[in-house]
Amino acid sequence: METLQVILLALIQGLTEFLPISSSAHLILPSQLLGWADQGLSFDVAVNTGSLSRGSDLLSSRYCCLS
């Protein structure tokens, strides 16, 4: 996988994570449209883990300030 592919897919994941669509779909669709090879399960897990950790960090910092 090229660096440009990783950056583009990670940006798409970050920008569309909170939309009510499948996170797998918005990682597969650009690959299919641009003719890239399947990125594999490990990449999907890594990108979703990054989204989860960022979301958790954001929520914990907001709730920390409320108390």
- What is the tens place of the pLDDT at every residue in 15-26? 887 777 777 788
Give residue 56's pLDDT band: very low, low, confident or very high (50, 70, 90).
Answer: confident
pTM of the full structure: 0.70
Task: Express each pLDDT in 21-53 by its tens digit.
Answer: 777 788 888 888 989 888 888 888 888 888 888
Sign of the CA dihedral running 27, 29, 35, 41: positive
Whether 19 maps to a domain, the answer reads no
Give residue 67's pLDDT band: very low, low, confident or very high (50, 70, 90).
Answer: low
Whether 5 maps to a domain, the answer reads no
Give the CA angle between residues 29, 32, 35 to the nearest 5°. 145
Whether 14 maps to a domain, the answer reads no
Largest Cα span, the chain: 50
Residue 66 has pLDDT above 70, yes or no: no
Whether 18 maps to a domain, the answer reads no
40: containing domain: 24-67
Question: Two tokens at 43?
Answer: 């990449």
Which segments of 1-67 does DSSP mark as H helices, in order? 3-16, 25-34, 41-66
> Based on the structure, what is the number of domains in the chain?
1
